Amino acid sequence: MNVTQNHGFEFLGFVAAQEQEMGEYQPLAGSFAVIKCKGKYLMCFNKWRKQWELPAGSREGNETPRECASRELYEETGQVVDQLKFRGLLKLKNERTGSVKYNPVFYAEIEALQPFIENDETTQIQLWDLEEELGTIDGIDIKIFDYL
């Protein structure tokens, strides 16, 4: 049975903005990389949170949101995808502080997965059809699929 986990953020909506408008939404937080392959979505198992999730993470230094999505995708899954397309922004509220943030979401379709090597954060990757039994999944990630 698939179960969702909540890590302290409430989903407020998906903003279908253009990439050049992204800066109008503040604060801009880390990026998500949603990859579709053979009709299924790439998920990675986060060993720290003990759940399946989309590749995502915080920006480093002067990194752009697009660069962040590409880096996190590679670090967590070993995938290199050059054609990431901006799809919009997640609008999330921190349930503890009440603060709102916006997370850029990038998307690409690929023909095949590249080899995966287990790393400090991710123990495995899997293509998911949004229905089959996967286990524990991040609840915010599930919301993203409703808007793609």
Task: Please write the tens of the pLDDT for every residue from 75-127.
Answer: 999 999 989 999 999 999 999 999 999 999 999 999 999 999 999 999 999 99
Of 63, 64, 44, 46, nearest to 54 by C-alpha is 44
Output b/e per residue, 72-90; b: 16+ Cβ within 10 A: bbebbbbbebeebebbbbb
Distance (Å, whole) CA 47 – CA 122: 6
φ and ψ at residue 130, rounded to 5 degrees = 75, 0
pLDDT at 1: 59
Complete domains list, the chain, with CATH? 3-145 (3.90.79.10)
Structure tokens at 69: 């999505």
Instruction: In whole angstroms, give the CA distance from residue 1 to residue 27.
Output: 35
